[in-house]
Amino acid sequence: MSQERKSDFRVMGESHSGGGAFDKVRIMGECTINGSLEANSCKVMGECVVKGDLSCDYFKNMGEVSVDGRFAAGEARFMGETRIGGDCMLRQSSIYGQLFAGKNLTGDNLKVRGTLQATGDVSLESLEMHGGIYVAGLLNCDEANIAVKFRAENYVKEIGAGRVTVRRKRSWFNAAPVKRFRAEIIEGDYVHLEYTEASVVRGSVIEIGDGCKIDRVEYSGAYKTNGTFEVGKVIRTELKNTHSEEE
């Protein structure tokens, strides 16, 4: 962002704006921005509609925000409901409310305590998920740690990661039925799964734990199991030779 001094933009009631570049944006009422908005920091505690792109160094939403175009932020805290029509580009971010990404989402580190929904692909360095997630495309990250809650619906079409861990979240409600984390394909160097339903799990070291239902496992290093689970076909792959063993 430019180092020149920018003015602030504050809304306490109901307002309309043509967009622009600002230092601090504070919205505590209802605001429609007919254009793109750029800010050093943007905080929303009301309702805001941006009919363009939104980019800022720091973003915090405790209300309702809708962006028609792209969204980019260095640090973001999603505590209310945020809907992005275009691509979503983040660095450090946390979701305590709801984030809906209309296209692809890219970022560094993402913590989810609320709900993340993306209709495209999600590419991250690390994902720590204790809420709900729906990704219609590929979830690609170095490390994904997913805790399955007993009420949450979770689905990712395909996961490609260095390390994937899916565990049941331990709580006072351990006796309650747990909804499985669902995926079509899960692939990683190290994969540890609990309460997961998948068509194919592929990797070097794979651990299948309690509550899993997997159609096919392909591993090249080690394969371990624990608890009560369902696995269809297990195949060990080698560089030259391939042999299979039915469980």
- DSSP summary character for residue 180: P
Three-state SS for 146? strand
Nearest to residue 189, comparing CAs of 170, 202, 175, 208? 202
pLDDT digits (tens, 9 = 90+) for 200-244: 999 999 999 999 999 999 999 999 999 999 999 999 987 444 344
Residues 66, 15: one domain? yes
pLDDT digits (tens, 9 = 90+) for 31-42: 999 999 999 999
**Which domain covers residue 61, as residue numbers?**
8-120
- DSSP summary character for residue 179: P
Does residue 93 fall inside a structural domain?
Answer: yes
pLDDT of residue 4: 60
Three-state SS for 170? coil
CA separation, residue 104 to residues 22, 64, 152 (Å): 26, 20, 23
Residues 97, 149: one domain? no
pLDDT of residue 71: 98
Residues 65, 144: one domain? no
Position 149, amino acid: K
User: Which residue among 79, 95, 120 closes a domain?
Assistant: 120
pLDDT of residue 172: 54
Residues 38, 112: one domain? yes
pLDDT of residue 246: 44
Does residue 1 fall inside a structural domain?
Answer: no
Checking phi first, is residue 196 left (phi over 0); if not, alpha (psi -120 to 50) or beta? beta
Does residue 132 fall inside a structural domain?
Answer: no
pLDDT digits (tens, 9 = 90+) for 79-103: 999 999 999 999 999 999 999 999 9
Residues 44, 69: one domain? yes
Q: With 0.85 as the threshold, say if the pTM is over it.
A: yes
Structure tokens at 169: 């979240």
What is the number of structural domains in the chain? 2
